[in-house]
Amino acid sequence: MVAADDSNPFCLSCRLNELIPDLSVPDNLARWNKFETAKHHVIYTLIRLGLPMDGVPEENRPALRFKCVADVDGCTPVLTSHCNGLITLNIAEADDAERERRRVKFHEPYRTLLGHLRHEVAHYYWDRLIANSKWLSGFRALFGDETADYAAALNQYYKQGSPPDWQARHVSAYASAHPWEDWAETGAHYFHILDMVETAEGFGMTLAPKHPSAKTMTATPHNAFDLNMSFDSVLANWFPLTYALNSLNRGMGLLDAYPFALSSPAIEKLQFIHDVVQSARVNK
């Protein structure tokens, strides 16, 4: 929403747009609408967390910005990416059939516009909160040395795939490609978790399973964005909610809403991200 006395006609999310698609192209308006719906969802989460989005020029930390563009015949295809504060998204990802084709091609269990944006926003916050900060040594201890050749690491990943034991250390196969991608994938999951727990709390959802094999899967979600909420408390509600949601999806013949298993090292990385985010909040 925009305040009535605000001279800027755009909301806080739309003000971050650097470039939008050519709306004279058929179907681009509908695609852009899907992109903006996902982006507004992401920005809501950042606002609730109190994470900074403005630039800090004196520290060479840019503001968060977005560019949503399409492929052009004869030109290099647009890659969804982050660079120096600017997140670029290929509008083709807003086409459900095309996005599903890419998901299958890359053997991914999950691929959504919202997931893309959360991943790239996490990249932005690595630059914003980790690089040249007190957190860098802790990051390297958990995620690895980010100075490893990024292009070479991605090239090796796409040629050879992930190591067979990636699930023992990472939230996804792609997270094994490079420490930066591990951070971005884990950060996206962190946003997934907080959003889902807050939404469940907003609907007044609780879990009190009656089936003998599910007796321990109880949940009483609380506001996951609460500054005083420990991440252990968030996870205590998150895990039962994922079991219930996945089971509901299966009852409709749908894919699991959260098709991932979190190992202890992955949870330790999530806790680290939680500590970094809580430290960075501007509305404490």
CB-based burial, 108-145: b 16+ in 10 Å, e otherwise: eeebebbbbbbbbbbbbbbbbbbeebebeeebeebbbe
Q: Would you state the structure tokens that stand for residue 117, as one six-digit string?
A: 């944006």
Q: Would you say residue 221 lies in a domain?
A: no
Q: Would you say residue 208 lies in a domain?
A: no
Whether the Cβ atoms of residue 86 and residue 66 lie closer than 8 Å to each other: yes
Confidence at residue 159, expressed as pLDDT on a 0 to 100 scale: 94
Q: Would you say residue 116 lies in a domain?
A: yes
Helix (H) or strand (E) holding 88, with range, is strand 86-90
CB-based burial, 35-54: b 16+ in 10 Å, e otherwise: bbebbebbbebbebbebbbe
Closest residue by Cα to residue 174 from 101, 241, 102? 102
Average the pLDDT over each of 154-168, 176-190, 223-237, 265-279 and give the range with the smallest value: 223-237
Average the pLDDT over each of 6-15, 67-76, 128-137 and give the range with the smallest value: 67-76
Confidence at residue 283, expressed as pLDDT on a 0 to 100 scale: 60
* Cα–Cα distance measured from residue 76 to residue 25, given in angstroms and rounded to the nearest whole number: 19
Local confidence band at 227 (pLDDT 50, 70, 90 cut-offs): confident
Q: What is the mean pLDDT of residues 258-282?
A: 95
Q: Would you say residue 82 lies in a domain?
A: yes
Boundaries of domain holding 79: 1-132
CA dihedral 50, 54, 60, 66 (to 10 degrees): 110
List pLDDT tens digits, range 74-127. Answer: 888 898 999 999 999 999 999 999 999 999 998 898 899 999 999 999 999 999
Whole-prediction pTM value? 0.94
Number of domains within the chain: 1
Q: Is 215 or 82 the better-scoring residue by pLDDT?
A: 82
Confidence at residue 21, expressed as pLDDT on a 0 to 100 scale: 92
Q: Would you say residue 196 lies in a domain?
A: no
Q: Would you say residue 188 lies in a domain?
A: no
Q: Would you say residue 215 lies in a domain?
A: no
Whether the Cβ atoms of residue 18 and residue 39 lie closer than 8 Å to each other: no
**What is the rounded average pLDDT for all residues in the chain?**
93
Q: Would you say residue 97 lies in a domain?
A: yes
Q: What is the mean pLDDT of residues 209-213?
A: 88
Q: What is the mean pLDDT of residues 260-268?
A: 96
**The residue to which tokens 């050519």 are assigned:** 22
Confidence at residue 107, expressed as pLDDT on a 0 to 100 scale: 85
